[in-house]
């Protein structure tokens, strides 16, 4: 396996994980959609928190190019 950018064969496989945090847009929607519950509408921003996605990439150790 070689880097498509520089042709080097010094390539490493890396797993990258992204975890979701508080979503301000969901919190604002919660306040607008549920005006009767008021402050607790902000808690809608915590929906989906803690979910993570893992992506496997190859990284060239020579030039730093990232590809899958």
pLDDT digit string, tens, across residues 8-30: 999 999 998 887 666 677 777 77
CB 2 within 8 A of CB 11: yes
Whether this prediction's pTM lies above 0.75 is answered by no
Strand partners, 14: 57
Q: Tokens 């996605």 belong to which residue?
A: 53
- Average pLDDT score over the chain: 80
3-state secondary structure labels for all residues of the chain: CCCCCCCCCCEEEEEEEEECCCCHHHHHHHHHHCCCCHHHHHHHHHCCCCCEEEEEEEEECCCCCEEC
């Amino acid at each position: 396996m070689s880097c498509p950018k520089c042709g080097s064969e010094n390539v490493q496989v890396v797993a990258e994980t992204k975890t979701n945090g508080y979503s301000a847009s969901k919190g604002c929607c919660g306040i607008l959609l549920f005006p009767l519950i008021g402050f607790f509408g902000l808690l809608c921003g915590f929906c989906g928190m803690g979910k993570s996605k893992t992506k496997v990439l190859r990284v060239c150790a020579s030039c730093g190019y990232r590809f899958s």
